[in-house]
Amino acid sequence: MAAASQAQIIPPAAAHFRGLSFSRDGEFLYFVAADWDNEKGALFQVPVLGGPPRKLLTDIQSPITFSPDGKHLAFVRYASPKENVLIVSNFDGSEARELAKHSSPDFFSTMAPAWSPDGSLIACVYQNTSGGYYENVVSVSIADGTEAPITPQRWWQVGQVVWLADGKGLIASATEEAGSLPQLWYLPYKGGAAKRITNDLNGYVDVSLTADSKTLVSVQGADGGLEFLGRIDNQVKIDAVIRFYQVEWLSQLPRRAGWKNLLKPGGRTCVINPTISAISESKRLGLCLGHLSARSDTFRDLSPECREPHEIEGSPKEDWVLKATYANTGDEVHLGGEMSLEDWSSLLRKTRRDPHGWVAQRRFETLALRSTVGPVKPCVGVFVIAGRAAGAYVRLSRTQVTDAYALEAPLFIMKPKEND
């Protein structure tokens, strides 16, 4: 830091990196990476002076935190799309054990947990999606896995959390309301309200402290990072920044978030395809094709056969897929052919309790493409702005279900020849 010099520790790679952590002795750097060979994430160790990375463990979805003595580490792992757990293991990933778990609709965040200086607690970001979405910070006891909120404060989103060296509190990067910029907060341990440290027009993403807690480092971005984007290349002009938002999530926001103002004319934020997009995003749209006045030939040709869930009871389960109405990233997508009869029957009973929240689609098999990592199955999506196709995206998966571990890929469209 004194010389402000830079050195490349590992070469660039086609992978998603996150969660850089130094070992307690400062000799090694730990990071989590996801690529084709480690679709669910893997933990790597590399000397700080550079060298070949060493893989320590797989199936890890969060950055790690070290115990004060450096002999153990903790991280978050998804046991299933509906359940994730806080795992503690030896520093090399061996002897992993489950400390605490959460099941849908509430989860541990995959932001890095933080081990307390006295070694008795691990602070985690907790996500509540039932009865209005919010996030807060909880402590998990190393002794028995019990949880307790560190502060009653609720945020829209909590980022990195770090303990002060004396263990009397924590520093966190957190966003108070949807659309606002993340600020730095002080969270006193054992009572007291959270206090905002920063209050300006900058966004503070991630936070780290020196060992004595006398120096704080954070990534700062003015106007949410847009000023930085504008300085990437003087030859590049940014005309607009567009953010995609799941429309069905809006109603889950707390009332104080003021999300209904997004749908009012004259607001500061331009909104295109507001609530009407919930129709095209619904997996039950296929049930309505026979009632549309428009021809929609292409849409009809490409859409799988859809049925009400109760209509497929008694049919071979291998022929059908059950999806939640607003299933995203592979969650709540159930292939009958890959489930036991008992689990399939249980799922059908669940759909009876909420018939409008589910749809049955006849199963189809995606044709695989050849790639350098073997056969992959593409999922191509088209996004629409103001009723017109504005672009497309591709995700590649090794399985039939395009889930959160599928990789993004560019889509190239060949221009038709003049004579065509």
The burial class, CB within 10 Å (0-12 / 13-18 / 19+), for 220 is middle
State the average pLDDT over residues 348-358.
Answer: 93
Element of type H or E holding 281:
helix 277-281
More confident residue, 135 or 374: 135
Among 41-45, 50-54, 98-102, 412-416, the range scoring the smallest mean pLDDT is: 412-416
End of a domain among 364, 389, 407? 364
The residue whose two tokens read 């060298």 is 51
Q: Is residue 316 in a domain?
A: yes
Residue of 128, 125, 114 lying closest to 167 (CA atoms): 114
The residue whose two tokens read 């969060």 is 62
Element of type H or E holding 58:
strand 54-58
Give the pair of three-digit tokens for residue 129: 């999606």
The predicted-structure confidence for 80-101, as pLDDT tens digits, reads as follows 877 899 999 998 888 999 999 9
Same domain flag for 305 and 359:
yes
Same domain flag for 294 and 357:
yes
pLDDT at 242 over 60: no
Same domain flag for 351 and 311:
yes
Same domain flag for 299 and 337:
yes
Question: What is the arrangement of strands in the sheet containing 306-307, beginning at the earlier edge strand?
Answer: 306-307, 358-362, 320-324, 333-335
Q: Are 139 and 121 in contact (CB under 8 A)?
A: yes
- Residues sharing a CB contact under 8 Å with residue 122, sequence separation 6 or more, in sequence order: 65, 74, 86, 88, 99, 113, 114, 115, 116, 139, 140, 142
Domain of 374 in residue numbering reads as 366-420
- pLDDT class for 162, splitting at 50, 70, 90? very high
Residue 199 pLDDT: 82
Residue 222 pLDDT: 45
The predicted-structure confidence for 100-157, as pLDDT tens digits, reads as follows 999 888 889 988 899 999 999 999 999 887 767 789 999 999 999 999 999 999 998 8
Residue 344 belongs to a domain with what CATH number?
A: 3.30.1490
Same domain flag for 348 and 374:
no
pLDDT at 228 over 70: no
pTM of the entire structure? Answer: 0.63
Q: Is residue 405 in a domain?
A: yes
Give the count of domains, the chain: 2
End of a domain among 348, 364, 380? 364
Q: Is residue 209 in a domain?
A: no
Same domain flag for 339 and 393:
no
The residues facing 379 across adjacent strands are 395
Q: Is residue 116 in a domain?
A: no
What does the alpha-carbon distance between residue 297 and residue 303 come to, in Å, rounded to a whole number? 10
Same domain flag for 359 and 385:
no
Q: Is residue 242 in a domain?
A: no
Same domain flag for 415 and 396:
yes
Q: Is residue 328 in a domain?
A: yes
Q: Is residue 325 in a domain?
A: yes
Same domain flag for 381 and 419:
yes
End of a domain among 346, 364, 382? 364
Percent of the chain with pLDDT over 70: 81
Neighbours of 172 (CB within 10 A): 30
Give the pair of three-digit tokens for residue 300: 């009809």
Q: Is residue 57 in a domain?
A: no
Same domain flag for 308 and 359:
yes
Q: What is the DSSP secondary-structure string of 331-377?
A: TTEEEGGGS-HHHHHHHHHHHHHSGGGEEEEE---PPPB--TTS-BE
Same domain flag for 355 and 372:
no
What does the alpha-carbon distance between residue 147 and residue 142 come to, in Å, rounded to a whole number? 10
More confident residue, 203 or 287: 287
Same domain flag for 316 and 293:
yes
* Eight-class DSSP state of 302: H
Tell me the chain's radius of gyration from C-alpha atoms: 24
What does the alpha-carbon distance between residue 219 and residue 159 come to, in Å, rounded to a whole number? 12
Residue 120 pLDDT: 96
- pLDDT class for 420, splitting at 50, 70, 90? low
